[in-house]
Amino acid sequence: MPKLKCECSEVINLSGVPSRDQYLMISDKEYDSYSGLIDAEMLYSKMTIVVKCPLCSRLYIYNDGFNSPPAVYCLE
């Protein structure tokens, strides 16, 4: 998914690595199950991808990866 068009019409470019607008999220409980040295790629595979629109701050949370529609959260 190189680009995402936000509800506010901002086009978010996700092709850069690392991406300015992409975040990674993991539950505190799951993170706490790890200790010591951890393989970064393995940890990455356990994280949920979150995209934050730089214009309106909407959050697009991809709970099942980019192949499923995201849950979208908007500021009140």
Window 18 to 57, contacts with Zn ion (CB under 5 A): 53, 55-56
* 38 secondary structure, DSSP code: -
We find the least distance from the C-beta atom of residue 15 to Zn ion, in angstroms, to be: 18
Phi, psi at 40, each rounded to 5°:
-60, -40
Single-letter amino acid code for the residue at 57: S
57: left (phi over 0), alpha (psi -120 to 50) or beta: left
Q: Given the complex with Zn ion, which of 6 and 50 has the nearer CB atom? A: 6
Residue selected from 10, 46, 47, 59 as contacting Zn ion according to rule CB under 5 A: 10
Binding-site ranges for Zn ion (CB under 5 A): 6, 8, 10, 53, 55-56, 58
